[in-house]
Amino acid sequence: MKHNRSIWLVISMLVLASMLLSACGPSATPTATAALKVGVILPTKNEPRWIQDETRFKDAFTQAGYDVQILFSDGDSAKEKANVESLISQGVKVIIFTPQDGTAAAAAAQEARDAGVKVISYDRLIRDTAAVDYYVTFDSVAVGEAQGQYLVDKATGTGNPLYLYAGAATDNNAFLFFEGAWNVLQPKIADGTFVIKNSSEAVGLQDKATLTRDEMSQIIGQVTTDWKFDVAKNLAEANLTAAPAADKGDVFILAPNDGTARAIADSFAADGDVTSYVVTGQDAEEPSVQYIIDGKQSMTVLKDVRTLVSDAIAAAVAYLEGNTPEQTATYNNGAIDVPAKPSVVVTVDQSNVQAAVIDSGYWPAADFTGLDTLGAPTEAPTEPPVAAECPEGVYDFGPVTGGPAGGFLEQAVAGAFAGTTVTVDGTQVEPDDQKMKCGWKAFEEATGITVNYIGNKEFEARLSIAVDAGQAPDIADFPQPGVLARYAEQGKIVDVNSFMPADYLSATYNQAWLDMATMAGPSGPISAGVWNRGFMKSLVWYAKDDFDASGYTVPQTWDELVALSDQIVADGGTPWCVGIESQAATGWVATDWVEDIMLRTTSLENYDKWVAGTLPFASPEVKNAFETIAAIWFKEGNVFGGRDQITTTFFADSPAGLFTDPPNCFLHRQASFITGNFPADAEYKVDYDFFYLPPIDDAYGRPALGAADIYAAFNDRPEVKALMEYLSLPMSVSGFMNTSGALALQNGAVPEMYANAVDGDIGAALAAATSFRFDASDLMPGEVGAGSFWKGATDWASGAADLDTVLQEIDASWPK
């Protein structure tokens, strides 16, 4: 990847050079008379970050044989404006511009705009003006999240003292960094893991998950370092002087960047009451890399400035050629949405500094001392091994064996790839990420391969940025196959068929799963990933004891289910409990019913068309699904509380009727997770049991509705393939099977492997399904799937709107 990027850089530099030199003929030698087309303005040399940028710009321009003007503003907006004017007077066509003060720079940007010069905001956003053409940046919210996450990962127990520091209030980035850190830290402040020690403003706002810009300003005003070492040092010392010894001990420090981190770390290290500290940073400045090697700074966030420089140059070239630079996002600067291209960032600490900073060519090994000692840390690692938090002994999967004969997993277990690292990204965050990692523990122990899980809630957006930047994770865990399909189509995904033989795959997975993993690649279909974990929705829970006592039997067909309902009514009981209230998401229970019926009454092809928006809601197929449900829900005596209660009963309360004596209802259709809402003392196979929601038309087999995860590889290194093979073993899902609520999708998963018998039996029911489809509303565009479909189904259920109107309205809401 790196290789490609540098080739690309050379090519773009050559293009740029030819543009820049066009005024002075074909000679590649720069001359003093060459018209200057691009200028760069950086804020200050006092913050080492910008010296990195200067060097990287110079490297890039020198490589192209041209001397660009790079001006520094010495931290002074007046000087910055003079710099802009100087470049304009020299005839530049594009200015790559990092403002000292985002808002103060608006006037200078406007001057450039008036002179017909394109303004590329570089790393920092110029605010409150329409005179910004483009923004190249790192994902700054992700920087803050990486810092916050690092502190969270290192903290155990509760009451950990937390000291917060921020960047300069004049820098828009300071807000984005703080926002990202707050996203991650706030829940951990709310649950008592951390206690803020140095900001009364932050304490006052600590219950708020999201802060406004004004609220952040209040906090930043109190904890700003202004990006200056001495301000940071003085503030840290003042905080330490004010804090009693009880607020010290093992402390956690959010420091916004490397320069301030070193100043703050030195102050904390010098305080006798501080036993240990974890401190964040950013920029991978050389002195901080040395601090990390020496154990004096805990982490930094590597923002590969080479990427930003090449993106800025590509944008400048686009403008010079009369084109528009590539846009992958927009950032609002207070006046307009500025087209932007954010890049990914990487967390670096002792565990990966060698790989991320040295081996990647970012800094030369010769600039550091002590790199050789990193492999053998003298102190115990601060991060507890994953094993410490994994429940033991629920089911003994034994040693890691399996995968294709002679394949990569076998080689890995023989030690062939020990010492390597595989990165995985996905949507799982606490606490599920822990379960996920527990499932990988055996792999790590057996192979010596480290699995580095990134994971965050903005997975999809982040992944797309990372892939664009050529920095895809090795493997990604997709909860929605449609998202994976896009990358498969672009040729970014390693074909599983290229290393896992067809006979192994068909022995491992039900054909329905293999079919769903088959996706279009650029030159024909590929097997895009391996299925790992799933959930099943097509279940009917029933009041087992009363059901048996009444002599009822589990229905095998839809007709039998309807007959059973009628029988219960004839016997004086109520068959169903239905509740679809779920606050802002009210209606989802109804849409799940519609999806289950669609799968039982029409082809998978039609179901997929419906999801894609090409089979309308007003079609006979969808209308029939609603009517099939109406025949149960709206029939007198069929639903506990009557039709009126359906939309007002909270979904999680609705199964309660199964457990009253006598039961308020006998049947309740809901996904596997609903057991979590059953009374704590309810016993499986005694008080409750479940059956598969029966088929309606034999032509459509025994379909299952649910959700599942598919893992796909972006890189084909052997250790990556070894992990992909491991993910095809039920053992890799063990962290979830140990607790509850999720199923292993591989054929080898048997009920005994699950901690709860009910999960094992649901797993068996899922394995018996002949087809599987994802929850349709989750796949539809948000306006429909989490909007008009929920609402329409609710209005229909309550009787507020008639079915035809509802279906037409949902169709009309489909985004054009």
Cβ distance to ligand BGC smaller for residue 283 or 592: 283
CA distance 423 to 638: 52
Q: Which is nearer to ligand BGC, 48 or 616 (CB)?
A: 48
Q: Could you tell me the smallest distance in angstroms from the CB atom of residue 306 to ligand BGC?
A: 14
Interface with ligand BGC (CB under 6 A), residue from 123, 477, 592, 795: 123
Q: Which is nearer to ligand BGC, 47 or 477 (CB)?
A: 47
Other Cβ atoms less than 10 A from the Cβ of 113: the count is: 16
Smaller CB separation from ligand BGC, 40 or 737: 40
Q: Name the residue nearer to ligand BGC (CB basis): 168 or 413.
A: 168
> Minimal distance in Å, beta carbon 114 to ligand BGC?
26
Q: Are 154 and 278 in contact (CB under 8 A)?
A: yes
DSSP 653: T
Least distance (Å) between residue 123 CB and ligand BGC: 5
Q: Are 91 and 61 in contact (CB under 8 A)?
A: no
Which residue of 37, 38, 39, 47 would you call a contact of ligand BGC, by CB under 6 A?
47
- Strand-pair partners of 518: 527
Residue 301 CB, shortest distance to ligand BGC, in Å, is 9
63 or 234, CB closer to ligand BGC?
234
Neighbouring C-alpha atoms within 13 Å toward the C-beta of 304: 23
The residue among 140 and 239 lying less far from ligand BGC, judged by its C-beta, is 140
H-assigned helices in 115-212:
140-154, 172-190, 200-204
User: Which residue's CB is nearer to ligand BGC, number 122 or number 790?
Assistant: 122
| 124 contacts ligand BGC (rule: CB under 6 A) | yes
**Number of alpha carbons in the 13 Å side-chain half-sphere of residue 66:** 32
User: Least distance (Å) from ligand BGC to the CB of residue 473?
Assistant: 23
Q: How far is the CB of 285 from ligand BGC (least distance, A)?
A: 8
Residue 5 burial (CB count, 10 A): 16
**Pseudo-torsion of CA 752, 758, 761, 766, nearest 10°?**
-120
104 token code pair: 């103060």
Task: List binders of ligand BGC among 274-293 (CB under 6 A).
Answer: 282-283
Look at residue 131 and give its three-state secondary structure.
coil
Answer for the pair 360, 374: CB distance below 8 angstroms, yes or no.
Answer: no
**Is 720:482 a contact under the CB 8 Å cutoff?**
no
Residue 341 touching ligand BGC (CB under 6 A): no
To the nearest whole angstrom, how small is the minimum distance from the Cβ of residue 49 to ligand BGC?
Answer: 4
The nearest distance, CB 127 to ligand BGC, in angstroms, is 13
**In the complex, minimum distance from the CB of residue 287 to ligand BGC, in angstroms, rounded to a whole number:** 13
Alpha helices in 602-646 (DSSP H): 604-612, 620-633, 643-646
**Residue range at the interface with ligand BGC (CB under 6 A); choices 74-82, 166-174, 453-461, 509-517:** 166-174
Among 37, 49, 341, 544, binds ligand BGC (CB under 6 A): 49
Gap between the Cα atoms of 484 and 712, Å rounded: 8
Please give the structure tokens belonging to residue 528.
């895009």
Of 182, 227, 478, 626, the residue at the interface with ligand BGC (CB under 6 A) is 227
Residues between 401 and 440 with contacts to ligand BGC, criterion CB under 6 A: none
Least distance to ligand BGC, CB of residue 254, Å: 14
Composition of the chain by helix, strand, coil, percent to 5: 45, 15, 40
Q: CB 117 → ligand BGC: shortest distance, Å?
A: 23
Q: Are strands 539-543 and 518-521 parallel, antiparallel or unpaired?
A: unpaired
Sheet (strand 134-138) strand order = 69-72, 38-42, 94-97, 118-122, 134-138, 337-343, 329-332
CB nearer to ligand BGC: pick between 176 and 733: 176
**# residues contacting ligand BGC (CB under 6 A):** 11
Among residues 35, 142, 68, the alpha carbon closest in space to that of 463 is found at: 142
Sign of the CA dihedral 730, 734, 737, 738?
Answer: positive
Quickly list H helices, 322-406.
353
Give whichever of 283 and 474 is closer to ligand BGC, judged by the CB atom.
Answer: 283
Residue 345 is classified by DSSP as -
* Cα 22 from chain centroid (whole Å): 45
Which residue, 283 or 495, has its beta carbon nearer to ligand BGC?
283
Question: Minimal distance in Å, beta carbon 52 to ligand BGC?
Answer: 9
Number of CB atoms found within 10 A of residue 693's CB: 25
- The residue among 227 and 331 lying less far from ligand BGC, judged by its C-beta, is 227
Per-residue contact string for residues 468-497; x = within reach of ligand BGC by CB under 6 A = ------------------------------
Residue 72 pairs in a beta bridge with 42
Residue selected from 173, 225, 538, 638 as contacting ligand BGC according to rule CB under 6 A: 173
Give the largest Cα separation in the chain, rounded: 100
Please measure the distance between the N-terminal and C-terminal CA atoms of the chain and give it in whole angstroms.
37
Indicate whether 610 belongs to the interface with ligand BGC (CB under 6 A): no
CA 161 to each of CA 158, 223, 262, 359: distance values in angstroms, whole numbers, following the listed order? 9, 15, 19, 35
Q: Which is nearer to ligand BGC, 98 or 794 (by Cβ)? A: 98
CB of 43 to ligand BGC, least distance (A): 7
Beta-bridge mates of residue 163: 253
Q: How far apart are CA 645 and CA 631, in angstroms?
A: 16
In angstroms, the CA 37 to CA 107 distance is: 21
Span of 167-175, 232-240, 580-588, 803-811 interacting with ligand BGC by CB under 6 A: 167-175
Residue 171 near ligand BGC by CB under 6 A: yes
Task: Identify which of residues 178 and 666 has a Cβ nearer to ligand BGC in the complex.
Answer: 178
Rounded-to-integer distance, Cα 657 and Cα 552, Å: 18
Please report how close the Cβ of residue 183 comes to ligand BGC at its closest, in angstroms.
18
Of 290 and 728, nearer to ligand BGC (C-beta) is 290
CB of 374 to ligand BGC, least distance (A): 25
**Which of residues 167 and 741 has its CB atom nearest to ligand BGC in the complex?**
167
Span near ligand BGC by CB under 6 A; candidates 165-173, 191-199, 315-323, 558-566: 165-173
State the binding string over 257-276 for ligand BGC (x if CB under 6 A, else -).
Answer: x-------------------
Minimum Å distance from CB 167 to ligand BGC? 6
Per-residue CA distances from 252 to 160, 207, 257, 262 (Å): 7, 19, 15, 14
Task: By CB under 6 A, name the binding residues for ligand BGC.
Answer: 47, 49, 123-124, 167, 171, 173, 227, 257, 282-283
